[in-house]
């Protein structure tokens, strides 16, 4: 059998080096085409009328005036009279017209009568005792759990215990499979007991977890030190710069061609097939580039289906619906909030003995699950309760490392407060308790040492509130995190042509993470040719299917399938060329554009000459990576990384402004394909982390039920001037490289918020409970601290 294993360090000429992103030139020149840039011939412009109420029954819809407006070509009612809209901004009617302004005019001519209903858009702490016991899971509950990557073990347990409130059918299973549900979860859904939902009141508060392990009561009673605190992160949004949307056209009455902004090229057609009543095989999906997704673009959304239906009504003409900025922020994805009151117990020496938490949060109408707390640290005695708030803020979607940044903020914050109470340097507390962090503990130890060195932790760290000069308080904070990152299922076709050209076809997408670069590096390394010699085709259902880009699964998936395809194609080429070199195929190797005999490198052919020996027919090989590790021989990808984030902040205690001065990220991700791009992923994650730590929040208006800041002025992203010195260190070499390829999109974005929050507490001497760390919250925490001190004096 050919040797698919990754080449070892001395045989790697491209893998692991710093190679520039292959699609940078096309991006910096403005030539890169995105879905929003596609303009089909005779294209119509679609616009959507959205609900202005947070919850309401639709009484009537009158589209007659819109239909009569010159230039309007089709009207599609998305939600009929009688439906209940669950959030402000929900889609009701879509129209298509010859130009955008006519479509906007038409939307304004539609009259919808609503019967407004009581709504909830708050995610404040539930009243004591609130929360009905969890009932059977609805389709929405399961959908929500799958898209938020609730661990399989947890979800299958819920399904067994709670049952389901609906009759499970194949369509639903298929849908969940499309969203990434594992075989274990699908089986659990199939086997879950059916409990029809009882009618009547549907509380906004649902107890989704009450878990006890060990003996927390005893541990708290015997503790030397008990620390308590309140921690939380609000709902934030994805704010992809390219909004969600698509352009659909019927090329004949049975065939749809859709350009769509998606992280899931190979998975979209199956989602559109049923609502449109055509087979998935008749739907072609295409995307060259995507302007950001971050977890929010896996689905064919309602507006995408509407665009395809409008196109059908308009005789097949292309119809474009791209969301306006306000809609993008209101309805196209949000990260669930998570808040917790935490109590921790420890021995004098810092050994953590117990955890207790009452947590709550919202992911919109589905409520959402408990984040994985305590995070990373497997504390022996635990008691946890979680209440999910089902409200009308809009839908949640996977947001880069679903649930982990919230879990890190809560857990690492509680640990940091415990360290303060113990008068310990947090770094020492973390090190002291690494034994309970599981299989990555030695990696954390190594990474913490590297990070501390890069931050100058030991020189700079002072106890809380003891590094203040004038108005300026300085502080350090840290956090650690984990993620899976195993490669997804992926097929790759690699063809070597008799003229020496090589092309690769793979139905993946490059969401800005460098997927194109990863694929060509692996192929070029395997074939011994330069990366420029490879023509890569991605982003189309014409190519072999490859998984959606979520959960850091793409690098492992595409690198494995590409490696296998390239090795097989290379072996086939060796077989054809061996006679010309008077050698056995097994004796051949290729490097530096040359195919040669291993034992006698003087017997060689350059790449082009070698390929000319294959005859008229090209060689095509398909490489496959299976999602299930045991089906890959050998397995070229792996799961499970650890990482460290450290922050150094300066807080102006007069104005409450927090400024990050330096951040350090130390991260492992197995065998790195491109060091330059791996570091970029970390720099980007630190930057996003600064954004959600200091600025970002989806602010809901309690009086109207609408989002107050659906724009880029008041939903603030970090800017160039918010970015301090960023230091990234990737763990490589022995112990890391031989693990195989592991994805990197999620892990480095997990710790920054927790590290910045902890650094702020270290600087000002008190905890600011909730992100974002805006001046009002910082000043309120400082004033609370002063009052407490005065009262104590």
Q: What is the DSSP letter of 220?
A: H
CB 418 within 8 A of CB 227: yes
Mark the segment that binds other proteins (CB under 8 A) among 139-147, 196-204, 511-519, 630-638. Answer: 511-519
Judged by CB under 8 A, the chain residues 395 through 424 that form the site for other proteins are: none
Give the shortest CB-100-to-other proteins separation in angstroms. Answer: 7
Q: What is the DSSP letter of 642?
A: E
Mark the segment that binds other proteins (CB under 8 A) among 246-254, 512-520, 553-561, 628-636. Answer: 512-520
| Cβ count within 10 A of residue 139 | 16
Tell me the per-residue interface mask from 67 to 106 with other proteins, x by CB under 8 A, - otherwise: --------------------------------xxx--xx-
Give the shortest CB-28-to-other proteins separation in angstroms. Answer: 4
Angle among Cα 305, 308, 314 to the nearest 5 degrees reads 140
CB 585 within 8 A of CB 571: yes
Tell me phi and psi for residue 391, to 5 degrees.
-135, -165
Is residue 129 classed exposed, middle or buried when 0-12, 13-18 and 19+ CB atoms within 10 A define those classes? exposed
Give the shortest CB-728-to-other proteins separation in angstroms. Answer: 9
Taken in order 185, 189, 190, 193, the sign of the CA dihedral is positive
| Cβ count within 10 A of residue 286 | 18
Tokens of 688: 């996003």
Binding residue (CB under 8 A) for other proteins from 28, 542, 699, 787: 28
Judged by CB under 8 A, the chain residues 107 through 126 that form the site for other proteins are: 108
- Distance, CA of 513 to CA of 549 (rounded, Å): 9
Binding residue (CB under 8 A) for other proteins from 204, 208, 561, 687: 687
Tokens of 791: 């009262």
- Long-range contacts formed by 436-445: CB under 8 A, 24+ apart: 436/352, 436/377, 436/378, 436/379, 436/380, 437/376, 437/377, 437/378, 437/480, 437/642, 438/376, 438/378, 439/640, 440/482, 440/640, 440/641, 440/642, 443/641, 443/642, 443/668, 443/731, 444/480, 444/642, 444/644
| DSSP annotation string for 298-357 | SS--HHHHHHHHHHHHTTT--EEEE--HHHHHHHS-EEPPEEEEEEEEE-TTS-EEEEEE
Judged by CB under 8 A, the chain residues 698 through 737 that form the site for other proteins are: 711-713, 717-721, 723, 726
Biggest CA–CA distance in the chain, Å, is 93
Under the criterion CB under 8 A, does residue 240 sit at the interface with other proteins?
yes
Under the criterion CB under 8 A, does residue 42 sit at the interface with other proteins?
no
Binding residue (CB under 8 A) for other proteins from 325, 432, 613, 622: 325
Give the shortest CB-613-to-other proteins separation in angstroms. Answer: 33
CB 354 within 8 A of CB 414: no
Under the criterion CB under 8 A, does residue 24 sit at the interface with other proteins?
yes
Mark the segment that binds other proteins (CB under 8 A) among 139-147, 176-184, 573-581, 687-695. Answer: 687-695
**CB proximity list for 465: less than 8 A, separation 6 or greater:** 473, 762, 763, 764, 765, 766
Nearer to other proteins by C-beta: 384 or 400? 400
Give the shortest CB-718-to-other proteins separation in angstroms. Answer: 7
Binding residue (CB under 8 A) for other proteins from 9, 12, 13, 37: 37
Binding residue (CB under 8 A) for other proteins from 290, 454, 455, 523: 290
**CB proximity list for 54: less than 8 A, separation 6 or greater:** 87, 88, 119, 121, 392, 704, 705, 706
Judged by CB under 8 A, the chain residues 127 through 156 that form the site for other proteins are: none
Under the criterion CB under 8 A, does residue 648 sit at the interface with other proteins?
no
Nearer to other proteins by C-beta: 135 or 724? 724
H helix intervals, 382-425: 404-421
Binding residue (CB under 8 A) for other proteins from 467, 513, 709, 758: 513
Under the criterion CB under 8 A, does residue 34 sit at the interface with other proteins?
yes
Tell me the per-residue interface mask from 241 to 270 with other proteins, x by CB under 8 A, - otherwise: xxx---------------------------
- Distance, CA of 95 to CA of 67 (rounded, Å): 9
Nearer to other proteins by C-beta: 235 or 373? 235
Query: Which residues are 339's β-sheet partners?
Result: 232, 360
CB 548 within 8 A of CB 285: no
Nearer to other proteins by C-beta: 121 or 744? 744
Q: In this structure, are strands 205-213 and 381-389 parallel, antiparallel, or unpaired?
A: antiparallel
Under the criterion CB under 8 A, does residue 616 sit at the interface with other proteins?
no
Give the shortest CB-679-to-other proteins separation in angstroms. Answer: 8
- Distance, CA of 307 to CA of 16 (rounded, Å): 43
Binding residue (CB under 8 A) for other proteins from 5, 11, 31, 435: 31
Judged by CB under 8 A, the chain residues 663 through 682 that form the site for other proteins are: 676-677, 680
Binding residue (CB under 8 A) for other proteins from 1, 8, 30, 277: 30
Binding residue (CB under 8 A) for other proteins from 6, 23, 369, 743: 23
Give the shortest CB-108-to-other proteins separation in angstroms. Answer: 5
Tell me the per-residue interface mask from 544 to 583 with other proteins, x by CB under 8 A, - otherwise: ----------------------------------------
Binding residue (CB under 8 A) for other proteins from 46, 365, 394, 512: 512
- Distance, CA of 780 to CA of 513 (rounded, Å): 39
Binding residue (CB under 8 A) for other proteins from 472, 608, 683, 732: 683
Nearer to other proteins by C-beta: 247 or 763? 247
Nearer to other proteins by C-beta: 531 or 581? 531
Binding residue (CB under 8 A) for other proteins from 96, 121, 142, 239: 239
Tokens of 532: 């420029």
Nearer to other proteins by C-beta: 86 or 539? 539
Q: In this structure, are strands 338-346 and 352-361 parallel, antiparallel, or unpaired?
A: antiparallel
Residue 42 preceded by cis peptide, ω within 30? no
- Distance, CA of 233 to CA of 772 (rounded, Å): 7
SS3 at position 484: coil
Angle among Cα 38, 39, 41 to the nearest 5 degrees reads 140
Binding residue (CB under 8 A) for other proteins from 324, 428, 571, 738: 324
| CA–centroid distance for 774 within its chain | 25
Under the criterion CB under 8 A, does residue 25 sit at the interface with other proteins?
yes
Tell me the per-residue interface mask from 516 to 545 with other proteins, x by CB under 8 A, - otherwise: ------------------------------
Total number of residues that touch other proteins (CB under 8 A): 58
Mark the segment that binds other proteins (CB under 8 A) among 25-33, 128-136, 487-495, 525-533. Answer: 25-33
Mark the segment that binds other proteins (CB under 8 A) among 72-80, 286-294, 482-490, 636-644. Answer: 286-294
Give the shortest CB-64-to-other proteins separation in angstroms. Answer: 16
**CB proximity list for 584: less than 8 A, separation 6 or greater:** 578
Where along the sequence are the contacts to other proteins (CB under 8 A)? 20-21, 23-25, 27-34, 36-37, 39, 99-101, 104-105, 108, 239-243, 289-292, 294, 324-325, 511-514, 676-677, 680, 683-688, 691, 711-713, 717-721, 723, 726
């Amino acid at each position: 059998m050919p040797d698919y294993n990754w080449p070892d360090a001395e045989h790697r000429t491209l893998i692991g080096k710093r190679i520039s992103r292959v699609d940078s030139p096309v991006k910096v020149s403005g030539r890169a085409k995105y879905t929003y840039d596609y303009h089909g011939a005779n294209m119509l412009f679609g616009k959507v009328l959205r609900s202005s109420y947070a919850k309401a029954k639709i009484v009537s819809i009158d589209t007659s005036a819109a239909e009569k407006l010159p230039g309007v070509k089709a009207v599609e009612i998305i939600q009929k009279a009688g439906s209940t809209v669950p959030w402000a901004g929900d889609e009701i009617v879509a129209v298509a017209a010859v130009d955008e302004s006519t479509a906007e005019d038409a939307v304004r001519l539609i009259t919808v009568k609503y019967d407004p209903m009581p709504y909830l858009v708050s995610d404040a702490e539930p009243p004591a005792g609130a929360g009905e016991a969890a009932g059977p899971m609805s389709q929405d509950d399961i959908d929500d759990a799958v898209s938020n990557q609730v661990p399989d073990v947890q979800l299958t347990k819920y399904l067994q215990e709670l049952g389901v409130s609906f009759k499970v059918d194949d369509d639903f299973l298929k849908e969940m499979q499309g969203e990434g549900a594992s075989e274990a979860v699908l089986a659990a859904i199939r086997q879950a007991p059916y409990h029809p939902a009882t009618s009547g009141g549907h509380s906004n508060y649902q107890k989704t977890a009450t878990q006890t392990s060990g003996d927390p009561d005893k541990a708290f009673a015997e503790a030397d030190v008990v620390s308590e605190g309140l921690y939380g992160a609000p709902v934030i949004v994805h704010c992809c710069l390219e909004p969600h949307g698509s352009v659909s056209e019927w090329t004949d009455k049975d065939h749809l061609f859709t350009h769509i902004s998606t992280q899931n090229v190979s998975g979209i057609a199956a989602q559109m097939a049923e609502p449109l009543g055509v087979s998935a095989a008749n739907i072609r999906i295409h995307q060259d580039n995507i302007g950001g997704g971050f977890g929010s673009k896996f689905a064919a959304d309602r507006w995408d289906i509407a665009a395809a239906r409008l196109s059908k009504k308009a005789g097949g003409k292309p119809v474009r619906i791209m969301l306006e900025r306000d809609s993008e922020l209101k309805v196209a994805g949000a990260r669930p909030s998570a808040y917790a009151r935490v109590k921790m117990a420890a021995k004098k020496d810092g050994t953590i003995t117990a955890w207790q938490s009452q947590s709550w949060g919202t992911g919109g109408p589905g409520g959402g699950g408990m984040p994985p707390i305590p995070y990373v640290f497997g504390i022996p005695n635990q008691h946890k309760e979680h209440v999910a708030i089902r409200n009308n803020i809009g839908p949640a979607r996977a947001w880069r490392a679903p649930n982990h940044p919230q879990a890190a903020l809560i857990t690492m914050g509680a640990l940091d407060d415990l360290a303060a109470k113990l008068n310990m340097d947090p770094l020492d507390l973390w090190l002291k308790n690494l034994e309970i962090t599981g299989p990555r503990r030695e990696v954390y130890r190594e990474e913490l040492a590297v990070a501390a060195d890069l931050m100058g932790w030991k020189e700079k760290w002072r106890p809380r509130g003891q590094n203040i000069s004038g108005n300026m308080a300085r502080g350090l904070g840290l956090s650690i995190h984990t993620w899976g990152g195993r490669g997804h299922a992926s097929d790759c076709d690699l063809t070597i042509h008799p003229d020496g050209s090589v092309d690769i076809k793979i139905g993946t997408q490059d969401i800005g993470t460098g997927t194109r670069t990863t694929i060509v590096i692996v192929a070029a390394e395997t074939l011994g040719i330069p990366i420029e010699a490879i023509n890569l085709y991605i982003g189309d259902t014409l190519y072999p299917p490859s998984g959606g880009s979520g959960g850091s699964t793409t690098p492992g998936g595409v690198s494995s399938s590409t490696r296998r395809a390239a090795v097989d194609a290379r072996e086939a080429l060796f077989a054809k060329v061996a006679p010309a070199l008077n050698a056995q195929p097994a004796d051949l190797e290729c490097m530096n554009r040359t195919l040669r005999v291993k034992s006698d490198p003087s017997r060689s052919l350059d790449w082009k000459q070698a390929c000319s020996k294959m005859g008229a027919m090209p060689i095509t090989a398909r490489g496959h990576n299976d999602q299930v590790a045991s089906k890959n021989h050998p397995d070229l990808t792996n799961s499970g990384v650890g990482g460290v984030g450290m922050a150094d902040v300066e807080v102006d205690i007069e104005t409450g402004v927090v400024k990050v001065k330096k951040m350090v990220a130390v991260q492992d991700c197995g065998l790195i394909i491109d060091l330059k791009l791996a570091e970029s992923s970390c720099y980007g994650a630190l930057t996003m982390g600064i954004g959600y730590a200091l600025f970002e929040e989806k602010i809901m208006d309690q009086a109207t039920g609408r989002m107050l800041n659906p724009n880029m002025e008041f939903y603030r992203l970090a800017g160039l001037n918010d970015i301090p010195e960023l230091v990234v260190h990737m763990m490589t070499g022995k112990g890391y490289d031989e693990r195989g390829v592991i994805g990197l999109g999620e892990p480095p974005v997990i710790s920054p918020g927790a590290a910045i929050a902890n650094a702020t507490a270290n600087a000002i001497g008190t905890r600011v409970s909730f992100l974002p760390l805006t001046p009002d919250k910082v000043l309120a925490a400082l004033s609370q601290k002063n009052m407490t001190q005065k009262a104590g004096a």
